[in-house]
Chain A
């Protein structure tokens, strides 16, 4: 019989975020499928379990202390390890996110187990858990099981609806943990100003810009300034999240004129992100495989390109508009502005 533990860091004064509630729901589903119970383990400054008191967990554990407030390897790994040992867990499930992803494999190593991240499916077969995850940057999907325990997992967001239920009063068992004296400290967060933040994970639409925006246009001129204006106006009007191809981002590093608001953080694909959005619109991009592997979890896909034989035409987009993106996006912006103006 498996002993399942849902594990998550917490932030003082904040409820568990959506990705954690999704991982909690996935944990509950797996426990139900295996015919077993599950426990909850939380750590942080002042972890509270009352918001999820009715989730059906058999036990609640918590590591508490000011030193566990910072998202930092040494203290996060120590807390997670202590919680896993307290629960005697054989399956440990946490939400994919920078904090859990940073430590899960290290925690598994300490416990003599194994870890798998980017889990996109959890199921039970013949009483044993199986997971689905992707290999070679979302090019192929594997379904696997393991004999090693504990099996420590990071579940991707968006694979099950978030758990929701009535708050209550959780009886929390305190778990003792003495981490090593920290040699690192988090000193801050760097983020673009709110009006310059172009990465919006919760946006419905992913808007991708390719290198074509900075190439010579049919009149022989490079129109980077106009491209910048059109793209930023579209982002403002649509509230889309901005993605980019590697080639466009790299231009900046190579000293070419490019779009100043793009960084490697915007990069989607083989060496970039694999965001999850309901819709994606690609512009001035060839739709080659190293970029489009980053579109694996984008639902409806449309593209604007001057090349009717580009990668998007070969089964990678639902609709390819063979057109000049400068002209189209100017009109789109006009329509969106009119709609916004009522």
Chain B
């Protein structure tokens, strides 16, 4: 049975139910009341973490690290929930997780943290992350992490992996299809889409075990200077999205159906 070192990269993002509004800050655009917004681990990175834990559980001797980037207070907030989901060892980077930072700077910090993991072994290494973030949403960070680590077997939009030494990987491609690839062996990098696993239920025992190591790691989180050097934002604005909604009540079903059918077929 192969052993894997699975390193999951992720940053914190604002809760998607919050209203987000851009403001101009001293270092460029930012979110209004950004430090007040509740945060959690980026959803696609979360899927990557659950898939990593599942793969590690199937391959005894494997281990999962989460290299997480964000302001220390936000990391701590998100770990309170996340720690109860699956076992992992945290590597914390205290730095900006703003969507307006540059993927290359984020990637450099993440890759540096991965290379500093004690016992880092490229021959067992699987680097996981979200294929995009819910903040910058560029799909760029993981590719650059892979380049810095010298990994040229990269897969994006991953929804499935089977690992028996060789890796069989499903990647999303156009038209609701999956491309199937086989990679001979680690190292490999996988940017996950949603995968196929449900969100694990909270497990207090896992939470207690994780938190024993997470809190000291958070206290000693390494500062990471991340910005967007060379980028000038000329504007950041909310779209004029509000529509003048016509609410149709008390109309007979037949009439509604006729309206909709007419609207659909009217090119």
Contact = CB atoms under 8 A, between A and B. Distances in A.
B181 A72 contact: yes
Nearest to B238: A140
B267 to A, nearest CB: 7
A59 B10 CA distance: 41
A236 interface: no
B100 to A, nearest CB: 7
Contact of B180 (A115, A142, A188, A253): A188
A139 B238 contact: yes
Q: Chain B CB within 10 Å — which of A137, A201, A289 has the most? A: A137
A184 B181 contact: yes
A264 to B, nearest CB: 4
B10 to A, nearest CB: 13
B135 A136 contact: yes
Interface residues of A, number: 102
B134 interface: yes
A250 B63 CA distance: 27
B113 interface: no
A1 interface: no
B248 A322 contact: yes
B172 interface: yes
B249 to A, nearest CB: 5
A97 B172 CA distance: 10
A106 B154 contact: yes
A320 B181 contact: no
Interface residues of B, number: 97
Interface in A244-272: 250, 253-254, 264-267, 270-272
Q: Report whether over half of chain A's contact residues are helix, strand or loop; otherwise say mixed.
A: mixed
Given A142-B100, A271-B134, A183 B153 contact: yes
Contacts of B146: 106
A320 B258 CA distance: 15
B107 to A, nearest CB: 8
A183 B165 CA distance: 13
Given A139-B238, A308-B249, A322-B248, A279 B264 contact: yes
Contact of A142 (B29, B179, B194): B29
Interface string A102-116: 111110111000111
A98 B143 contact: no
Contacts of B218: none
Contacts of B173: 71, 98, 189
A317 interface: yes
B94 interface: no
Given A187-B181, A290-B17, A324 B232 contact: no
A204 interface: yes
Interface in B117-142: 134-141
A116 B99 CA distance: 13
B7 interface: no
Contacts of A144: 231-234
Q: Chain A CB within 10 Å — which of B17, B138, B254 has the most? A: B138
Given A192-B176, A322-B248, 11 more contacts: A101-B139, A135-B136, A140-B237, A144-B234, A190-B170, A315-B244, A315-B245, A317-B243, A318-B246, A321-B259, A328-B260
27 contacts: A71-B173, A98-B156, A105-B104, A108-B140, A115-B138, A117-B140, A136-B31, A136-B134, A137-B16, A137-B137, A139-B20, A183-B185, A189-B178, A192-B176, A201-B175, A250-B199, A265-B159, A271-B194, A272-B194, A301-B243, A308-B249, A316-B242, A318-B244, A320-B248, A324-B253, A334-B257, A335-B261
